[in-house]
A and B are shown apart, each in its own frame.
Chain A
Amino acid sequence: MKKLWIVPVLVAAHLAAQAPPSAQEASKKKAGPARPAVARVTAAPSYKDLKYPAAKPIPIPPVETVTLPNGIKLFLLEDHELPIVSGSARIGTGNLFDPAGKIGLATMTGMVLRTGGTRKQTGEAIDQALEDVAASVESSIGESSGTVSFTALKESAGPVLAIFHDVITAPEFRQERIDLAKTQLHSAIARRNDDPATIVQREFSDILYGTQNPYGWQMEHDTVDAIARPDLQAFYNRYFFPANVRLALWGDFDAAAMKTRIEKLFADWTVKGEPVPEFPEVNARTSPGTFLAATGGATQTFFAMGQLGGMFNDKDYAALEIMANILGGGAQSRLFQQVRTRMGKAYSINAVWGANYDHPGLLEISGSTGSLSTMETIRAVQKEAQRMRESEVTEEELRVAKETALNSLVFAFDTREKTLSRMLTYDYYGYPMDFIQRYQKALANVTRADVLRVSQAHLDPNMFSLVAVGNPNAFDQPLEVLGRPVTPISLAIKPPTVAPVAVNTLAVEILARAQKAAGGADKLAAAKDFVQTNEFVLAPAAGRLQVKVRTRWIAPDFFRQDSEVPGGGISAYYDGTQGWISTPQGEGPLVDLQLDQVRGTLFRLYFRLLLGDRIPGRTLTTAGSGGIEVGSPAGDSALITFDSSTGLPKTVSYEVKQESGARLQVLETYSDFRDVDGIMIPFKTLVMQGSQEFANVTVTEAKFNSDLQLTDLDQKPAPGVRK
């Protein structure tokens, strides 16, 4: 069925190459049925000759507002076009209330509120019940408010409202859905640097607001791991009470009947709560700076520059919107005209005043351009910004900007849902209900002098902070030419601290002794690559064969092993995720047993085994007779025992899976330790399988940090070599 289905976001990005995106949402005026054109159309008619009927007033339907006995403030709006009933509850809370050590708590509470089920039903039962009737109930907590919403066919409104009520008043936060939410959040953290456009927006905002406060900090693996079910329950209990809830419903119902119905439905919810405190003050950066997140290999630079902005209720808000619009709002704006249309240096370029309801927003100019035109484009942007404060905009620019804003205002009210949600938002943030009418009036009164005055007060390129994401080696000029030091932005994601509660201090101590004996933990951790060649002499029972094995490794998890056996060579390559294997019989992807084997070998690389306390995800536990067991998230594990006199490892034992599914115990005993680049490596190893001797191994080559290249590692053997 053609395009019936929701077009995937990612697919849309690729397939639908889009034309001029023009900004501007917001404006007003109306229109009546159009009248016939004035002139008869013969040659090319001009739009300048068109006459339009007087605009219809913006239809803002009356919203009924009432406060229920338990304190819920109710907003109702009838809409009989389709047999649908929808609603949205706004809760006074936000992730601005996250505790510093548990960033992500509000977000997770918002997720599990719905998914974790209610006292009556599991989340899964709710999923099924809702989807059987094509309805939905969803919840989330954002920066400065929480939302629980529903939509249902009129005929199933009853049961859906009951679920909606239960989600708000009696969520259960079941552990399995907390676990799922954590998996999702950990993955979101890991994926947060996947898209340069996202990086630049995030870093710009975080840098301006400051990364040490709730406006600019971000969740990390550790802050997510620190959150537990009681935290979610406590967060919920603090903010979810009737007097802190505004509830809007719209759709195919009778308002009076619906009021009675809601009052009855929520009558059992009578908990009281302390008033919610104010959100924290914004304490934003006031000094300008230049910041760069270097991404190797990028062909395009994403940039954002600007300074602290303001709020919707500033007296100059309308003039500031006009200012941003003329600078970088739509196709008629100066930035679009100059940077895109004349220079052809950007597809996307725009400026937004970015006001907020309750705290200052950010004035932001952002865009992307080819690496080679980075500075050229940034300079052009600065020049246009500077020009805004040097002289008045033209009468025509002002007229167009005002018309644009006023004429499009109607689209903010073209559905009941938009209208009601706007009213709810005004009420939530303490704005007057006629805010939009006041804004409309203010827009009409903006003068050229106003635009110049607010530009001089709020738009100053000398005070801009600039954030760029790109490959500085390919820039036309370095960012330093802007005259300020360039502060690098690290995109490194802090790895999760290894199970903080489960740290086995004794095991860590034993390991520390071995690390010291082997050359020091820092020395071991400094290894960037490693190559080693071993001669295996297999035991008589294993056929006395001689096998030469060369192992190469590049941090963090790139691995290559080439074995020469009589009859041919076997090569395997693994990149930490997947790999291939090449044998005289052919080649293919690493799967099943072979994949397990390679991953196991990589896990047990001698010097990496000694870093069990440093490699993310590895676990340490004590085992009998002074040994320790090292584990990995993938399920690998190895038991190490140590030489009590030297502190060096004596044996390593582990299990390998066999074709039959049975597990085979392997024991390696080390001797003949020698210093290789400052690290003690065993040059002789005896390998036992089960209770049988399997091989004697001698090291013939071992080297650290010899600048191995990835290109060599994943090189497949030429067919001739396999012979």
Chain B
Amino acid sequence: MKAPPLCLLLLLAPVSVPAQDLKAFEKKVTEFTLPNGLHFIVAERHEAPVISFETYVNAGSVDDPSGRTGIAHMFEHMAFKGTETIGTRDWAAEKKALDSVEEINDSIEAESDKGLKADSSKIDLLKLRLKVAMESAESYVVPNEFLSVIEENGGADLNAGTSLDSTVYHYSLPSGRMELWFLLESQRFLHPVFREFYTERDVVMEEERMRIESNAQGKLIQQFLAASFEAHPYRNPGTGWPSDLKNLRTRDAEAFFEKYYVPANMTIAIVGDVDPAEARRMAERYFGPLPARPLPSPVRSVEPPQAGDKSVTVDLPSQPLAVIGYHRPDQNNPDDPVFDVLQLILSNGRTGLLYKHLVQDQKLAVNALAYGTFPEGRYPNEFVFILAPALNHTVEENQRALDALMLRFASKPVDMETLDRAKTKARSIVIRRLADNAGLANLLATYYVNYGDWRKLFTSVDDINKVSASDVQRVALKYLIARPRTVAYIRTRVPSPAPAGAGFAGGR
């Protein structure tokens, strides 16, 4: 028997670690910025002959233009399709074939846009031509060459991720192959191509089905965000709304790339068995040719104050789960560390208040968590609670118990023992992460981009240490008690299997 998925939401982070000295760590870190604005952070760790690389682009799904949601993520997929020299047998011929795919797509779009007056036989004919043109373009492709080269050279944890605030590309290589990374990573941003775009769009539609349509938690979070944010694009799913997604075009991806993949808007972190001087030489050689371009503007939409409570029911064939969110300011607000401490007090292994009361003592939930920053922190966001009711207990019961608990919690300052435990945990989480090349590369880039200095990774612990019991109470009262909130929950609905339309399936 395989182990049951017990820890479905269970977060028992292995803890521990020392107060590592920032001074000691600083000696291992080298930083430089190329003339085009691209910033590098290099950290030496010679424990093993491996290096981890992370490219952090300060643009994500939040920057998707209206009606083009999903484009940041589509571009990220395109970044693995190769370049004008990698992944093709004959770029000139392929380019011509790709242009003709675009032309036919333009014609299809133009005809479809006529609405009722569109000539469907003309569209069918065009679609036939499109198929031929795509096959022609494909005939020049060396499929997945870009990825294969990395794999064959021992690339590990090869992946990328588009989140709302950012896009990251990362993998690790045996240290002797460092130059391969410099070459491939610079080429993909110097000579991006948009080959196999429309087939990849289908892959992304499958990804959307897998992550959201077929996944209860994914669907719940999507519905929660769409309700919580009315104006701010945190409301949009990263994979895009399906109707936007299926209409995305290569020119959308190209425009996104031109605007946001600007050297000064990107940061690269390299951690492992690396010689910083050599890394710098290679950085200059390979990334120097990237042209400098102006920085893009951040999102200017501001979420208006929430007028009242919102509730969203998500009917799914899945056990109940609830997300409850309260608006909070962005990560640069002075109260940011207080939210972190609040999260750690409420949701910290087995001693977090939520676990102690709702899971252990009252046995109302199998899990109860708090997240101080959700979905991301660059813009004003949400403090959320996630409740997974135990069998035979309801969302409603859990919510009532949570409300009572939070009211009691906020009615007096937290005791020192609890506060200190949260601070100890905060410190240990930071230092734990120093032992992992890939995790460290991500943190260095993330902190540099979001706070202007990777040292914030260490100094944030000082900020947390300054948080007082009355800060915790003040922030809880200000943001979490009797404030307008958004509740989204799964209501269990089991569509009848087999005969379609029967039973509840017909009712949905």
Is A413 close to B, CB under 8 A?
yes
Quick check: A45 and B183 within 8 Å, CB to CB? yes
Find chain A residues with CB under 8 A from B205 CB.
370
| Contacting residues, chain B, for A84 (C-beta < 8 A) | 16-18, 435
Cβ A25 vs Cβ B156 within 8 A: yes
A180 touches B2 (CB 8 A): no
Choice from B199, B289, B366, B425 contacting A341 with Cβ under 8 Å: B199
B152 touches A407 (CB 8 A): yes
What is the bound-complex CA distance between A24 and B172, given in angstroms?
12
Q: Are A15 and B376 in contact (CB under 8 A)?
A: yes
Cβ of B394 within 8 Å of any chain A Cβ, yes or no, is yes
CB atoms of B154 and A8 under 8 A apart: no
A341 to chain B, nearest CB (A): 5
| Residue B466 lies at the interface, judged by CB distance under 8 Å to chain A | no
Q: Is B48 a contact partner of A413 (Cβ separation < 8 A)?
A: yes
Give the one of B210, B213, B375, B392 with max A CB within 10 A: B210
- Whether the Cβ atoms of A13 and B148 lie closer than 8 Å is no
The listed residue (A21, A205, A294, A575) touching B491 by CB distance below 8 A is A575
Instruction: Specify the chain B residue showing the minimal Cβ separation from A400.
Output: B152
The reply to whether the CB of B20 lies closer than 8 angstroms to some CB of chain A is yes
Q: Please name the residue on chain A nearest to B61 by beta carbon.
A: A17
Residues of B within 8 A of A235 (CB): none
Which of B160, B173, B278, B394 lies in contact with A36, CB distance below 8 A? Answer: B278
Tell yes or no: A483 within 8 A of B by CB: no
With contact pairs A19-B160, A143-B3, A332-B151 given, residues A296 and B505 touching in the complex (Cβ less than 8 Å): yes
Chain A residues within 8 Å of B496, by CB = 296
Q: Are B47 and A414 in contact (CB under 8 A)?
A: yes
A414 & B199 in contact (Cβ 8 Å cutoff): no
What is the interface size of chain A, counting residues whose CB is below 8 A from a CB of the partner?
153
> Interface 1/0s, chain A 180-217, versus B by CB < 8 A?
10011111111111111110011001000000001111
Complex contact B363–A408 (CB within 8 A): no
Cα(A9)–Cα(B143), bound, Å: 32
Q: Please name 16 pairs of A and B residues whose Cβ atoms are closer than 8 Å in the assembled complex, sorted by A.
A: A4-B426, A30-B49, A36-B282, A41-B286, A46-B85, A47-B180, A55-B49, A56-B175, A115-B350, A127-B351, A131-B350, A152-B16, A191-B319, A194-B318, A341-B144, A404-B152
Contact A191 B8, beta carbon cutoff 8 Å: yes
Interface residues of A in 321-373 (CB under 8 A from B): 330-332, 336-337, 340-348, 368-370
Residues of A contacting B8 in the complex (Cβ-Cβ under 8 angstroms): 188, 191, 194
B333 CB to closest chain A CB (Å) equals 11
Which chain A residues numbered 200 to 250 have a C-beta less than 8 Å away from chain B? 201-202, 205, 214-219
> In the complex the two chains form, what is the Cα distance from A640 to B184 in whole Å?
78
Give the residues in chain A near B76, CB-CB below 8 Å: 17, 19
Complex: how many Å from CA A14 to CA B73? 12
Using Cβ atoms and an 8 Å threshold, which residues of chain A touch B155? 22, 408
| CA–CA, A219 and B434, complex, Å | 39
Nearest to A32 among chain B residues (CB) is B176
In this complex, the member of A1, A128, A132, A369 whose beta carbon has the largest number of chain B beta carbons within 10 angstroms is: A1
Q: Which residues of B contact A299 (CB under 8 A)?
A: 209, 213-214
Residue of B nearest to A348 (CB): B210
B217 within 8 A of partner (CB): yes
| A650 contacts partner chain B, Cβ-Cβ < 8 Å | no
User: Contact at A138–B12, with CB atoms within 8 Å?
Assistant: yes
Q: Check A347–B206 contact: CB distance below 8 A.
A: yes
The 6 closest A-B pairs by CB, nearest first: A31-B176, A407-B154, A296-B495, A344-B202, A331-B147, A134-B428
In the assembled complex, A533 has its CB within 8 A of some CB on chain B: no
- Asked if B498 is at the interface (CB within 8 A of a chain A CB), the reply is yes
Q: Is A709 in contact with chain B by the CB < 8 A criterion?
A: yes
Contact with B along A75-97 (1 / 0, CB 8 A): 00000011110000000000110
B357 within 8 Å of A (CB atoms): no
- Residues 266-300 of chain A: 1 if any B CB is under 8 Å from the residue's CB, otherwise 0? 00000000000000000000000000001111111
Q: B221 interface residue, CB < 8 Å from A?
A: yes
Q: Shortest distance in angstroms between B468's beta carbon and chain A's nearest beta carbon?
A: 17
Contact A300 B495, CB 8 Å, known A22-B151, A136-B14, A186-B391: no
Nearest CB of chain B from residue A1's CB, rounded to whole Å:
5
Q: Which of B346-395 contact A (CB under 8 A)?
A: 348-351, 359-360, 363, 366, 369, 371-377, 386, 388, 390-392, 394-395
Does B412 sit within 8 A of A, measured CB to CB? no
Which residue in chain A gives the minimum CB-CB distance to B171? A22
Contact B156 A415 (CB under 8 A): no
Q: Confirm or deny: A644 has a beta carbon within 8 angstroms of a beta carbon on chain B.
A: no
B243 to chain A, nearest CB (A): 14
Task: Give Cα distance in the complex from A347 to B159, angstroms.
Answer: 14
- Interface-centre pick from A179, A193, A194, A218 (highest chain B CB count, 10 A): A194
Is B247 in contact with chain A by the CB < 8 A criterion? Answer: no
B464 proximity list for chain A (CB < 8 A):
1
**B214 near A196 (CB under 8 angstroms)?**
yes
Chain B residues near A191 (CB, 8 Å)? 5, 8, 318-319, 366, 388
Q: A4-B430, A4-B460, A296-B495 are in contact. Are A31 and B160 (CB under 8 A)?
A: no
For A578, list chain B residues within 8 Å (CB).
Answer: 394-396, 491
B336 surroundings in chain A (CB, below 8 A): 1
A151 partner residues in chain B, CB cutoff 8 A: 14-16
Tell me if B507 counts as interface (CB < 8 A to partner A). yes
| Residues in A whose Cβ lies below 8 Å from that of B307 | none
Q: With a CB–CB cut-off of 8 A, which chain A residues contact B32? A: none
Please name the residue on chain A nearest to B442 by beta carbon: A3
Q: Are B160 and A24 in contact (CB under 8 A)?
A: no
Across-interface contacts of A98 in B (CB, < 8 A): 1
Task: Report B44 CB to chain A, min CB distance, Å.
Answer: 11
CB-based nearest B residue for A20: B80
Q: Decide yes or no: A34 and B179 within 8 Å by CB, A133-B424, A186-B391, A202-B2 being known contacts.
A: yes
Q: Which of A82, A134, A189, A488 is packed against the most chain B CB atoms within 10 Å?
A: A134
Given contacts A34-B278, A153-B17, contact A347 B147 (CB under 8 A): no
CB atoms of B161 and A134 under 8 A apart: no
Q: A34-B179, A107-B4, A131-B350 are in contact. List 12 more A-B contacts (CB 8 A).
A: A5-B340, A14-B218, A18-B160, A20-B147, A41-B289, A47-B183, A131-B15, A131-B425, A331-B148, A337-B144, A343-B199, A407-B174
Pick the interface stretch among B123-131, B445-453, B477-485: B445-453
- B55-97 vs A: 1/0 string, CB under 8 Å? 0000001000000000001001101100111100000000000
A637-668 interface with B by 8 A CB criterion: none
Which residue of the partner chain, among A8, A56, A346, A591, contacts B203 with CB atoms under 8 Å?
Answer: A346
CB distance from A530 to the nearest CB of B (A): 16
**Complex Cα gap A15–B236 (Å):** 10
Please report the C-alpha to C-alpha distance between residue A457 and residue B312 in the assembled complex, in whole angstroms.
54
Can you name the residue of chain A whose Cβ is closest to the Cβ of B15?
A134
Digitize B432-460: 1 where CB-to-A-CB distance is under 8 Å, 0 elsewhere. Answer: 00111100001100110011000000001
B177 within 8 A of A: yes
Q: Is the CB of B206 within 8 A of A17?
A: no
Q: Are A33 and B175 touching (Cβ within 8 A)?
A: yes
Query: A53 vs B94: C-alpha distance in the bound complex, in angstroms?
Result: 35
Tell yes or no: B500 within 8 A of A by CB. yes
Complex CA gap A81/B46 in Å reads 10
A188 touches B5 (CB 8 A): yes
Report whether B73 and A131 are in contact in the complex, using a CB–CB cutoff of 8 Å: no
B492 proximal to A (CB < 8 A): yes
8 A Cβ contacts from B154-188 to A = 154-156, 158-164, 169, 172-180, 183-184, 187
Interface flag for B122 (CB, 8 Å) = no
Bits for B390-420, please: 1 = Cβ < 8 Å to A, else 0. 1110111000000000000000000001001
A497 CA / B311 CA spacing, docked (Å): 36
Pick from B14, B204, B214: contact of A302, CB below 8 A: B214
Identify A8's interface contact among B11, B83, B437, CB under 8 A.
Answer: B11
Tell me, in angstroms, the Cα distance from A10 to B311 when the chains sit together: 20
Whether B115 sits at the interface, judged by CB under 8 Å, is: no
**Interchain CA distance A44-B261 in the complex, whole Å:** 19
The residue that A138 contacts in the complex, of B14, B351, B386, B391, with Cβ under 8 A, is B14
A632 CA / B11 CA spacing, docked (Å): 33
Closest-by-CB residue of A relative to B420 is A132
